[in-house]
Amino acid sequence: MSRRSDTLEPRTVEADKVVDSVCPYCAVGCAQKVFVKDGKVTQIEGNPASPISRGRLCPKGSASKQLVTSPTRVTKVRYRRPYATEWEDLDLETAVDMIADRVIKTRRQFWQEETDGKRTRRTLGIASLGGATLDNEENYLMKKLYTAMGAIQIENQARI
Ligand code: SF4
C-alpha cells in the first residue's frame, strides 16, 4: 500500500447511522446499507448479510442514492394540458382531484356488468403498469385499489 492510499478512508466512515434497506428498483430485492450523516443519505451499498444478493448491487442499485439526493429529482406535480406546449406546476390536491374525476368517468364509461351472458362486473377502461421503483407494499396497495375498482389489467414492469 502506498503512503497516499494508506491515508485514504471510505466515505462511509463518517456516517452516524447505517440503515438496512432493500433496493427499490426491481423484484430481485437486493439488500442495501444506507449510510446517513446529519439526517442526509451519504452513500448506499450492498449488504453482505443478504442471502439473496450477498453484498452485490447492479448498476441501477448502486446508483440508487441519486433517487433520493439528485438535484434534478422532480418534487412538484408537473402537468401539460392537451395541445399545450409548456408544462405547468399543479398543487397536489388539484392533481389528485383531476385523477379521481377521470378514474370515475372512465370506470362508468367502460363498465361491463355482463359479458356473453356471464356476470363479470369489471372495467377494461383502466389498466395499470407499475414501475420498478415501486416497493412491495406500494404494489400490494395498488393491486387492492385497482381490483376494488373492477380493473383486471394490473401489471408491473419488473415482471415483464
Ligand atoms: S435493480 Fe439491481 S440492485 Fe436493485 S434489486 Fe434489482 S438487481 Fe438488485
Residue 13, C-alpha cell as written in the block:
466512515
CATH number assigned to the domain comprising residue 40? 2.20.25.90
Return the CA Rg of the chain: 22
Domain of residue 78, residue span = 74-109
Give yes or no: residues 158 and 142 share one domain.
yes
Q: Look at residues 34, 38, 30 and name the one whose alpha carbon lies nearest to residue 18.
A: 34
Q: State the pLDDT at residue 111.
A: 98
CB 19 within 8 A of CB 36: yes
The model's pTM: 0.66
Mean pLDDT by 10 residues, the chain (160 residues): 93 94 85 96 96 94 90 92 96 96 97 96 95 81 96 85
25-29: long-range contacts (C-beta < 8 A, 24 or more apart)?
Answer: 25/60, 25/61, 25/64, 25/132, 25/133, 26/60, 26/132, 26/158, 27/132, 27/156, 27/158, 27/159, 28/52, 28/53, 29/53
Give yes or no: residues 121 and 143 share one domain.
yes
User: In angstroms, what is the span from residue 141 Cα to ligand 1's centroid?
Assistant: 22
Give yes or no: residues 101 and 62 share one domain.
no
d(CA 145, CA 28): 24
Cell 466515505, residue located:
11
Give yes or no: residues 29 and 41 share one domain.
yes
User: In angstroms, what is the span from residue 1 Cα to ligand 1's centroid?
Assistant: 33
Q: Look at residues 30, 98, 105 and name the one whose alpha carbon lies nearest to residue 63.
A: 30
Mutate to test the pocket of ligand 1, among 26, 67, 136 (most ligand atoms within 8 A of CB): 26
Q: State the pLDDT at residue 160.
A: 66
Asked whether residue 6 is domain-assigned, the answer is no
Q: State the pLDDT at residue 44.
A: 96
CB 158 within 8 A of CB 26: yes
Q: How many domains does the chain have?
A: 3
